[in-house]
């Protein structure tokens, strides 16, 4: 592998938040085999750890992530590379039954942009630069880009972003509905931490069920989705956190959610 996995991705537990930080700042956190392996491992551990109730994904240095490491030996079959590296990562983020908050400073380019879009809540600096840089090197958006972009920003903006490959700012990304919010440059990580802390104190099981609902809604009819909501709500209704939420309301006090599955 040539690099220590614990160095290319830093993992730290802060209360009930698991912080996962891409750490190749000299390459703007470009993605290589080591990062993929370490990231998959860190996300798997965060999922298994009942003490972890929210995940914060960030990058060190002046950029969040510049996409695929283009200085690495490039595979002959890029489709195979997606099947083995990018697609499992995007699926893992989307199916993880815990909220994932992403902090973006500086660039989020190519698969780096789409990695951010695969997270649940994205906070960026106002002048962060999001770009579907693929076209500049003769590729198509991957890591879910052709799926995320039209759903989040609409068809017209999706096509413009993908075909022109020009960067938009964090402020623009927020205005277009691609991300949750843009904040003053330099305060994106603190805001993402604040949101992750907030999420970690909420009913984790219900949030995991919401993710299932949103995932299914992309293909379901309204009828099928209404039926699914019965299943999800039945499960949420059996949770200790539902009992606690209702009890707290009746007793006019703040709830203390345990997040137990
Ligand atoms: O292979 C497969 O599996 C297919 C999958 C593909 C998925 C993809 O993500 S394709 C898209 C790949 N990413 C890009 O095309 C972006 C390439 N980078 C850039 O265009 C620019 O670096 C940025 C616009 C992102 C930032 O520009 P700037 O001027 O702020 O920084 P810089 O000076 O270009 O970069 C700083 C350093 O990071 C520099 O290294 P150096 O010269 O100081 O030693 C640069 O080479 C390095 N760097 C930036 N991006 C990458 C990278 N190194 C490797 N791979 C990169 N993607």
pLDDT in tens, 188-214: 999 999 999 999 999 999 999 999 999
Beta-ladder partners of 42: none
Inter-residue contact 99 to 199 (CB < 8 Å): yes
Cα of 106 from ligand 1 centre, angstroms: 12
Distance 195 CA to ligand 1 centre (A): 29
User: What sign does the CA torsion over 142, 180, 38, 44 have?
Assistant: negative
**Ligand 1 site-directed mutation target among 8, 26, 28, 135, most atoms within 8 Å of CB:** 28
Output the residue whose Cα is nearest ligand 1's atom 28: 107
Nearest to 35 by CA among 13, 60, 18, 62: 60
Does the CB atom of residue 30 touch ligand 1 within 6 A? yes
What is the spatial distance between Cα 84 and Cα 132, in angstroms, rounded to a whole number?
21
Q: Relative to the CA of 106, which ligand 1 atom is closest? A: 30
pLDDT for position 5: 73
* Crossing angle (nearest 10°) for helices 87-95 and 33-48: 20
Look at residue 145 in the predicted model and tell me its pLDDT. Answer: 98
User: Does the C-beta of 78 come closer than 6 Å to ligand 1?
Assistant: yes
Nearest of 51, 48, 41, 50 to residue 14 by alpha carbon? 51
Q: Please tell me the distance between residue 69's alpha carbon and the centre of ligand 1 in angstroms.
A: 7
The response to whether residue 193 sits with its C-beta less than 6 Å from ligand 1 reads no
- Interstrand relation of 9-14 and 17-22 (parallel, antiparallel or unpaired): antiparallel
pLDDT mean values, one per 10 residues, the chain (261 residues): 76 97 98 96 97 98 98 93 97 98 98 98 98 98 98 98 98 98 98 98 98 97 98 97 98 95 70
User: What pLDDT score does 39 carry?
Assistant: 97
| pLDDT score for 3 | 59
Structure tokens at 1: 């592998």
Atom of ligand 1 nearest to the CA of 69: 55
Regarding the beta carbon of 38 and ligand 1, being less than 6 Å apart is answered no
- What is the distance in A from the centroid of ligand 1 to the CA of 167? 13
């Amino acid at each position: 592998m040539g690099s220590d996995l614990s160095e290319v991705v830093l993992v730290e537990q802060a209360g009930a938040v698991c912080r996962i930080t891409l750490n190749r700042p000299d390459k703007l956190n470009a993605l290589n085999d080591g990062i993929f392996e370490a990231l998959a491992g860190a996300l798997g551990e965060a999922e298994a750890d009942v003490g972890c109730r929210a995940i914060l994904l960030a990058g060190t240095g002046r950029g969040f992530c510049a996409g695929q490491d283009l200085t690495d030996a490039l595979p002959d079959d890029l489709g195979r590379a997606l099947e083995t590296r990018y697609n499992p990562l995007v699926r893992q983020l989307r199916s993880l039954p815990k909220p994932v908050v992403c902090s973006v400073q500086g660039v989020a380019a190519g698969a780096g942009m789409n990695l951010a879009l695969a997270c649940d809540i994205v906070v960026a600096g106002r002048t962060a630069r999001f770009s579907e840089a693929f076209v500049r090197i003769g590729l198509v958006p991957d890591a879910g880009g052709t799926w995320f972009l039209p759903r989040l920003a609409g068809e017209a903006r999706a096509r413009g972003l993908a075909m022109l490959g020009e960067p938009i700012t964090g402020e623009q990304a927020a205005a277009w509905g691609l991300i949750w919010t843009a904040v003053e440059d330099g305060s994106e990580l603190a805001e993402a931490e604040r949101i992750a802390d907030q999420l970690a104190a909420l009913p984790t099981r219900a949030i995991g069920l919401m993710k299932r609902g949103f995932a299914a809604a992309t293909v379901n009819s309204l009828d099928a989705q209404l039926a699914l909501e019965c299943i999800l709500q039945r499960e949420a209704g059996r949770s200790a956190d539902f009992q606690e939420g209702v009890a707290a309301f009746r007793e006019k006090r703040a709830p203390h959610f345990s997040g137990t599955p």
